[in-house]
Structure 1
């Protein structure tokens, strides 16, 4: 599947992007040349978690095999100059002294880390953690997962911790490292200093030797080992290039912004809404508002909040598909457009929505708890979810502007959610700002562009974004001036419990 219809000049260089999301993985090829950026899907595969007796895990071996199959498919289109890997954040694998993986990595939606923030040692309370890491408080942050992991036999044998994309790079190349944009999501990264926080690691009683050297996007990560070359059909020695391995960081690279003051929403399973800054904001006010300071490319800071995102809609669809013939997304969106506006609204960040399960029933329980009437029909649930997400986008971006003194003039909505016209229009309506939607495959594009830059084919970050704006299909939405209706809907919301600790 070609993402756009631009030509594929024979002289362009081909890069392979391994892009793993929370529900699916894909390998994309990107052809980059002067004024050219063409993305093609080589292979797509499911990312299906596995529940074992000890909890919910990622099937990382199936993901690895899907990646190998995808790289083989990518190689059929011509010589591959480089490979880059990005995934979701916070999750990790532990290696023993021989470099063997100690068990399947846990899924961040597993409940093992719940309550771990209350077991932090003295000197590592919420305020102390934020003052160093600047990280949004979420119950599944890596730091809390590690506290849960310490009581296991695996932990005693562990010698190296690798975040998921770094683990896959290790299996391809044998090299060990930690890419900086993903490392910054662990809660153990110094937001000001730009490296692992020896101070926090020591206070928490963790071994500093677990944490490998840091890498920046664009650094060489190694070359394919013989077994990987055989499995993919690519030449041994094919370079693997460090990209922004946190998928949101790669997506922000591909925001097609032409204006300096822009806001972004990277919308997929999660909605990551925020601003791009030059320095972290580590104030107590920022902590209380539960904003995160994660590292971006070229020393930038992704100042944002995690919002539950399209996960809510996808879990609704999974529930309905088990109970009746599959309801196509197009039919659901048509029904949502016809449903009563603002009949019910939810806080997407309420912790009841975090785990997999019967999402319509959980929405019903939330609405009854807050004195609202459940929708009853699928179209009503979809409208409730999308209007609530638009409100969350508005609420988050307005608070980010207050905390930073920035005044964004446009919202760029990228990722899979940019295909959802209702969400894009309602985000414009709720916020009162114009919305530019696309590219849908922003993460893979950012991955490709950083590889191309490492090979000298494109310039600075602004130049990358100009190339995206020139070559990718975008849609534009203007606010329709019904802000008072959104104000009234906002006033009905009560705060959800997934917030920073007091």
Structure 2
């Protein structure tokens, strides 16, 4: 049996999990959970990276002796090091709003052919275009790589997370130095690349292993699929809706539909769209100062269907603020139902597009991550998409993190199929069958997005 520590950092909370892996055994124990979120510094949003580092160390101490450790986190955000290896400033939060998707140097269609990425102002490339410290910087490290550097003293970048920067050639599986030079990003910033499973270095004698350090890459490892024709929603603060493919889809239709091709573990491609997730509901709860989610969901279940609908990907829902006021003047239950139904409609629209663009039919939809616990959202998603939904596991990113470490340490998990079979045999899943009338969802989708 292997004992490993998984540091799993989400956009609203972080955790250190103790993972135990052996024949017919895959168990997680939470040893430290801590707050994460934006900190407003004189009008700019940043991450409290030292709080995250200290909390990670506290968790590693609580985990005790382990065979290895690995780190995953959200994508796109970074720290810049100077020539002495010192962090130049606290990393910006992707919701800061300092960047835009205005880029003159490379046409959008050419950029997509290189990177395969959805055009979002939060992407690392666009953040770097607004960066004031580039000339002082020697190295760019994404969040998991920065924390690994502080643990080991070794500089590098794990490949799945590098693929989210819009500075990575998705076909060559390497940094696009030429692209970096064209957009005036110094190529010296781009460190060596690691594969998931590579040993980075050690921390106090414990190997630090590169995992799928983009949390969604780790989460997709633990999708408990037994069939090929599946789709997934990694559901949390964000919703990542997509397919797992062997090769990127770089057609003009995929670009115009704003789909992204990100690297996955074992060289797979995560063909997906970022859809706004439970962030909207979290912000509503913050404004209401109401932490009683079960009661809110009961009120939402009793509210009339489709009374109020929004486009959850509209720009006004990206930044923190008075989310209920942005949605409309309505009781809490109606607003919560609005958020969940609107998310389900966005999933339906995205999943249908993904199947068409990739020429891949889907038979089942897996919902993983924290949102898999939201029974109303899972049922609405099954209804909207007209597909059975299998919900779970909840701690999907941590499980994928643990599985990649265990394989690197010699556990007989040769491929994703073996990892997923172990998840299926050790974790309870809940199945939701489609209910209701498809015509009602057709009409609701037309109200929000217009006719196709």
> Shared fold by TM > 0.5?
yes
In the other structure, the counterpart of 2:293 is: 329
Q: How far did residue 172 of structure 1 move?
A: 0.2
Which protein has the bigger strand share? 2
Q: Which of 79, 98, 112 is the matching residue for 1:130?
A: 112
In the other structure, the counterpart of 1:3 is: none
In 2, the alpha carbon distance for the partners of 1:481 and 1:112 equals 43
Q: Deviations over 1:260-295 (max 9, x none)?
A: 110000000000000000000111100000000000
Superposition pairs of residues 340-419 of structure 1, within 5 angstroms: 340-364=304-328, 374=329, 376-419=330-373
In 2, the alpha carbon distance for the partners of 1:156 and 1:189 equals 21
**Aligned with 2:282: secondary structure?**
helix
Q: Which of 175, 200, 212 is the matching residue for 2:154?
A: 175
Relative to structure 1, the CA distance from residue 327 to residue 157 in structure 2 (aligned partners, 3 Å threshold; closer, same or farther) is: closer
Relative to structure 1, the CA distance from residue 289 to residue 333 in structure 2 (aligned partners, 3 Å threshold; closer, same or farther) is: same
In the other structure, the counterpart of 1:6 is: none
Q: How many residues align?
A: 449
**Aligned with 2:130: secondary structure?**
helix
Q: How far did residue 494 of structure 1 move?
A: 3.5
Superposition pairs of residues 116-265 of structure 1, within 5 angstroms: 117-118=101-102, 120-122=103-105, 124-149=106-131, 152=132, 154-224=133-203, 236-265=204-233
Unaligned runs of 5+ in 1: 1-11, 225-235, 365-373, 496-502
- 1:87 and 2:48 are equivalent in the alignment: no
**Aligned with 1:31: secondary structure?**
strand
In the other structure, the counterpart of 1:275 is: 243
Q: Which of 476, 482, 492 is the matching residue for 2:447?
A: 492
| 8 Å CA contact 1:37, 1:471 repeated in 2 | yes
Unaligned runs of 5+ in 2: none
| 8 Å CA contact 1:432, 1:481 repeated in 2 | no
In 1, the alpha carbon distance for the partners of 2:436 and 2:409 equals 46
Relative to structure 1, the CA distance from residue 54 to residue 155 in structure 2 (aligned partners, 3 Å threshold; closer, same or farther) is: farther
- 1:58 and 2:58 are equivalent in the alignment: no
In the other structure, the counterpart of 1:48 is: 37
Q: Deviations over 1:369-393 (max 9, x none)?
A: xxxxx4x110000000000111111
In the other structure, the counterpart of 2:396 is: 442
Q: CA RMSD in A?
A: 1.0
TM-score by length of 1: 0.88
In 2, the alpha carbon distance for the partners of 1:386 and 1:48 equals 22
Q: Deviations over 1:110-138 (max 9, x none)?
A: 01103xx22x233x122121111000011
Moved over 6 A (4+): none
In 2, the alpha carbon distance for the partners of 1:271 and 1:482 equals 24
In 2, the alpha carbon distance for the partners of 1:13 and 1:132 equals 39
Q: Which of 262, 265, 290 is the matching residue for 1:294?
A: 262
In the other structure, the counterpart of 2:272 is: 304
TM-score by length of 2: 0.98
